[in-house]
Each structure stands twice: as structure tokens, then as C-alpha cells.
Amino acid sequence: MTGKPNVTPAQRAQGRTPFSLDASTMHIRHVRSPQVPRWTSRGHSSFNFSKTQAQVNHTSSAKTLRGPIEAPDFKQIRKYLKDISERECLGDFIKAGWTPAELGEYARSIYLAPGRTYPTASSYEMAMIFGPEDPLAKIHLAGFRKPRFVMPPFNRLRPVPPIPADHPDHPDHTPEIRSDVQELARCFRNRRADENSEPRPDPAKPIPPARWKHYFHLRNSYGSLEEALERRGLTDYR
């Protein structure tokens, strides 16, 4: 039950609160308008309704994951809930036609405890704060009921975050791009060394990721290596 923010009895009784929870950082942020959730890099704050992405992690063997494989039934979920208002809210979900699998996926999107690969008791408690009449809950339920939607595994790994486009290890960087960035870095280092009357550094010296990104964007902003070198006054430091 750790990591659960304080919620007043009045808020629980109402079935919703004027804020939503960022499941990854537990920071409170105001809600302006509901948006259709999608799977993010953090992998637990939302989902995507397409069949292809809904099957993410289906290839992951359940043997490598600890914990339950299937969503608990409503009887077990009821045991997770300590407050009467939370149990009453669970009854509202049942009356609204939610299935245990749908409620489990919705609870996961609201909050997934650090280090866990499936929604825990805290996840269900958080889901009860909002209730089935909350706009976000209705959006999730509508997504679950779409013809092409395939319910992802209850217990699954978080998707690996995508590599940023300007990261040195991005697979789309061609040898030419990498060479241009290396040349820009070498010219900047050479100019700095000459200005300080120091020996020029080793050309093969690794470039820190932050500096690599800077040189990458610099090259792209000028359109070519030659243009970047000329505009930045680096042609004499090659």
C-alpha cells in the first residue's frame, strides 16, 4: 500500500477528485480535458487500442514474471479495498458492466507500483477514487470494447523506452552523420585548445552524449557539415 497519496473520505465518497495522477511519478496534475490514452515509454500510464500494439509483450514468457498471470476476480478485488466507499465504488464498476480484466487494465493505467509488472491492491484503490463515471474511465471502457482491441496480458513487462532521435546510439544515424558530428566535435576542441595554448586533444576522444546531441542539431540546422564549419568559423581547425 505504499506510494498511495492521501485522499479525503469526502473525495472517496464522491467517487472522483478534481485531479488525475501521473502513474509514473505520482505527481498531481490538473485535468483540462480527457484524452484517449496510449501506451507510453513508461509503459503503464495508458494503452493503445490497435491490435498490434495491444499485443506488446505477448512474446514475453510468463515464466520470467513473478506474480499472478490473470486478473483477480471481483471477490479478490473487494478484499483489496478497505474503505466502504471504495467497495461501493467497486459495485458501481460491476453494475456498469466492467469485467475483471477490464478493471485490471484500467487500474494498471492509473497506477503501477515501482518494480511491479501487474496492478496491485494500490492500483485498484487508486481506480476507485475516480469511479466508473469519470470521463477517463469511460474512455478506457469504450476502447476496451472496440472490435479490434485485444486485451494485453495482465502481468507484463514495461515496454522499453524508445531511443531519442538525437541520441548517439539511434539506429537511423548513418556513418556520414556520425562522421560529421565527430568532425564538428574535433574542430570545436581544436579551437578551444588553440585559444588556451594547449595541445590539441586526441581526435578519437569520446564525445559526451549531451555534446553529441548539440553537434548533431548544429549540423542539421545548417544543412551540412561544410556549412556548419564555415558559419561557426571552424574551417581553420580541421
Q: How far is CA 234 from CA 23, 69, 177, 183, 227, in A?
A: 47, 59, 18, 10, 10
Q: According to the model, what pLDDT value does residue 83 have?
A: 93
Q: Which of 144, 161, 196 is the last residue of a domain?
A: 144
| One domain for residues 209 and 129 | no
Q: What is the pLDDT of residues 35-74, one digit of tens each?
A: 334 443 343 344 443 443 434 444 444 457 788 999 999 9
Q: Which residues of 121-148 are buried (b: 16+ CB within 10 A; e: fewer)?
A: bbbbbbbbbbbbebebbebbbebbeeee
pLDDT of residue 85 exceeding 90, the answer is yes
Higher pLDDT among residues 24 and 177, named by residue: 177
Higher pLDDT among residues 2 and 54, named by residue: 2
Are 78 and 66 spatial neighbours (Cβ–Cβ below 8 Å)? no
- Report d(CA 194, CA 2) in Å as an integer: 56
Q: What is the pLDDT of residues 18-29, one digit of tens each?
A: 444 443 333 333
Put simply, whether the predicted model's pTM sits higher than 0.75 gets the answer no
Q: How far is CA 73 from CA 85, 103, 179, in A?
A: 19, 10, 57
pLDDT of residue 143 exceeding 60, the answer is yes
Q: Is residue 162 part of a domain?
A: no
Q: According to the model, what pLDDT value does residue 21 have?
A: 42
Q: Is residue 3 part of a domain?
A: no
pLDDT of residue 32 exceeding 90, the answer is no
Are 78 and 100 spatial neighbours (Cβ–Cβ below 8 Å)? no
Short-list 126, 158, 162, 127, CA closest to 42: 158
Q: Which of 97, 126, 144 is the last residue of a domain?
A: 144
| One domain for residues 42 and 128 | yes
| One domain for residues 93 and 21 | yes
| One domain for residues 131 and 30 | yes
Q: According to the model, what pLDDT value does residue 73 have?
A: 96
| One domain for residues 186 and 107 | no
Average pLDDT value over all residues in the chain = 78
- Report d(CA 186, CA 129) in Å as an integer: 56
Provide the grid cell at 226: 561544410
DSSP 73: P
Q: What is the pLDDT of residues 151-173, one digit of tens each?
A: 999 999 887 778 888 888 888 88
Short-list 20, 22, 59, CA closest to 44: 22
| One domain for residues 65 and 181 | no
Are 152 and 105 spatial neighbours (Cβ–Cβ below 8 Å)? yes
Q: pLDDT class for 7, splitting at 50, 70, 90?
A: low
Q: Report how far Cα 47 is from the mean position of its chain's Cα atoms.
A: 10
> What is the domain extent for residue 75?
9-144
